[in-house]
Amino acid sequence: MNPNQVIKAIKSYSTFLITSHISLEGDALGSELALASLLRKLGKTAYIVNSGKTPSNYSFLPGVKKISRRFSNRAHQAVFIIDCSDRGRAGRIAGLIDARKPVINIDHHIGNKNFGKINWVDPAASSTGEMIYRLFRFTRTKLDKKDALNIYTAILTDTGSFRHPNTTSNTLYICSRLLKFGINPAEIYARIYENNSVRDAIYVAKIISRLSFAADNRIAWIKIKRPEFEEVKGKPELLDKILDFAKSIKIVKVVLIFCQVDKRFIKLNLRSKSPIDVQKIASSFGGGGHRLASGCTIKGSLKEAEQMVLRQVKRALKTRYKIPACHSKYKAGEASD
């Protein structure tokens, strides 16, 4: 669907709730803040309520301090759920929304469930932030420096600092337009990615030292038990650093991080190098995302989750690379490159 129905809904209602997925990151937050600004510039009332806490490395975003975690059905006529492949990704907020109130779904993930009354889903977009930029253009709403900063952050983070295949010429064109507002790319990058403490560095080194390998070293994975996960829960960027390091190993094709949320549930992050589609694997466990970066939550123990996911990843690798169906496993320091 094109954004015309979204624009029509904006004209039809005066008050809006905006929310996004749990485990907030730059695209979710930057897109929420830019959308709220657009609505207010159009004379609407908009407020943001999220299920999850805002990570500290995004505290510099304009308007972020006004984001709430308190929900009320009385204060809005319609709801934007953005950057979510399915409604459940919005966490507890999804279950609190009055079923009589229209949901507007704006997203760029493959496999979006089209869960809204209005669905604007564009998998060709690099990010939801890119779609919000287009919404400014479609509604002829002027951006300001704060909007530019929020949208640039959204695009920067979801393209992996313009490294991922979802970075297109249009993505870079949009960012070139945003830079004209005087935002500082080096400062934004440093705020998000270069604010780690010595303790953070020690944590990352400890986790990376436990890397395991399988399928002729084409799979790299790490298990993080609950006490260790609690240390990093408020800093998802540390998990990203671990994923990026493992993915940088030349022979590795798929990277997995299993995080024990509690005794019953495991949070799984998946990263891939083309052509392995980890979105299909994540969706089989009720999750989703992109072909090369996805996530899901699995009910079970660390061992059970590890066995189920590795089985699927090995099957995908065997199909693509004709790898023997072996279960050899190496610890860090043992595997060849």
Sequence-distant (6+) residues with CB within 8 A of 69 are 49, 50, 51, 53
Q: Nearest CA to 35 among 135, 102, 119?
A: 135
> Which amino acid is residue 165, in one-letter code?
P
The yes-or-no verdict on residue 333 having pLDDT over 50 is no
> What mean pLDDT value characterizes the chain?
92
8 A C-beta contact, residue 157 and residue 192: yes
Tokens representing 122? 């564009």
Distance CA 260, CA 88 (A): 20
Is 3.30.70.1350 the CATH classification of the domain at 198-331? no
**Residue 284: count of CB within 10 angstroms of its CB:** 12
Confidence of residue 245 (pLDDT cuts 50, 70, 90): very high
Average pLDDT over residues 52-63: 94
For 151-168, how does the pLDDT look when each residue is reduced to its tens digit (9 = 90+)? Answer: 999 999 999 999 999 999
Per CATH, 4-192 and 198-331 having the same topology is answered: no
Average pLDDT over residues 194-220: 94
pLDDT for position 191? 96
- Binning pLDDT at 50, 70 and 90, where does residue 285 land? very high
Q: 330: pLDDT confidence band, cut at 50, 70 and 90?
A: low
pLDDT of residue 324: 55
pLDDT at residue 336 in the model: 42
* 336 vs 334: CA distance, rounded Å: 7
Q: What is the mean pLDDT of residues 183-191?
A: 98
pLDDT at 218: 95
Residue 186 has pLDDT above 50, yes or no: yes
Model pLDDT, residue 160: 92
Q: Is 119 exposed, middle or buried (0-12, 13-18, 19+ CB in 10 A)?
A: middle
Hey, how many other C-beta atoms are within 10 angstroms of the C-beta on 206? 11
Domain locations along the chain: 4-192, 198-331
Pick the residue with more confidence: 115 or 287?
115
DSSP state of 326: -
DSSP state at residue 56: G
When pLDDT is cut at 50, 70 and 90, the band that residue 337 belongs to is very low
Residues 6 or more apart from 91 whose CB is under 8 A from it?
21, 22, 50, 51, 52
For residue 90, what pLDDT is reported? 94
For the cut 50, the answer to whether the pLDDT of residue 309 exceeds it is yes
The CATH superfamily label for domain 4-192 reads inorganic pyrophosphatase (n-terminal core) (3.90.1640.10)
pLDDT at 170: 97
Phi, psi of 31 (to 5 degrees): -70, -40
Lowest mean pLDDT among 61-70, 226-235, 280-289: 226-235
